[in-house]
Structure 1
Amino acid sequence: MAINNVNNNGVPKTPLDNSKINQQGQNQAAQQQAASKTAAAPAPRQDSVSLTQSAQQLNQVQKKGTEAPVNQEKVDKLKKAIQSGEYKVNPEVLANKIARLESEIFGVKS
């Protein structure tokens, strides 16, 4: 038993044209791809860097440190003294030098 024209009030259905359906599906797919490409590809961002004044000063100090001459003979003597245990640190002198260096770096007068 064949059931035809159900819920069509007796009006026969027109046959579907599969080629039109395929074209419509392809057009929709192409439109979706184009939309996703434009949405997924934002404009290229421009990167930028800004350094604080402290960072710029630190950079200058580092450059000066690499350019400064090194007394290799003195460095070698200190290395040997430290390795042999002959090098002694005076804590008071060291503390004073650290305090003086900090005041020069941070601009605090003691």
Structure 2
Amino acid sequence: MSINNVNSGGSKTIIDNQKLSQQQTASNNATQAETQKATTSTARQDSVSLTQSAQQLVQVQRKGSEAPVNQEKIDKLKKAIQSGQYNINPESLARKISNLEAEIFGNKA
């Protein structure tokens, strides 16, 4: 008895290739699912919390970046300071600092 066309019988090879492709796809999907699950689990374990001071600092930075800037006034003040003509009133400065802290931290001055 002779066997003809052992390797050229196309249909069995196609079926074997399809099975192999399906197995590889299933394996890749399982690997991706495990990786995604591990990543999700890790992400859930990480956490960040800000202290109250850090939260207040963020608020101050936000307010500072949103505040309007009068560049002309800034330039005049710079020139006065550089020339020594700018006089500082310590009582007024202390009052303004106190008011600013009250505004930032919610305390009444």
- Normalised TM-score (structure 1): 0.50
Structure with bigger helix share is 2
Residue number in structure 1 paired with 2:84:
85
- How many residue pairs match? The answer is 68
Which one is further off, 50-59 or 79-88? 50-59
Ranked by relative contact order (alpha carbons within 8 Å, sequence separation 6 or more), the top structure is 2
Which of the pair has more CA radius of gyration?
A: 1
Partner of 2:62: 63
**Residue type at the aligned position of 2:67:** A
Cα root mean square deviation, aligned: 2.3
Say if 1:106 and 1:57 are closer, same or farther in 2 by CA, change over 3 A.
closer
How do 1:19-58 and structure 2 match up within 5 A? Answer: 46-58=45-57
Residue ranges of structure 1 left out of the alignment (5+ in a row): 1-43
Structure 1 position 55, deviation (Å): 1.9
Taking the aligned partners of 2:53 and 2:46, their CA distance within structure 1 comes to 21
- Structure 2: runs of 5 or more not aligned: 1-41
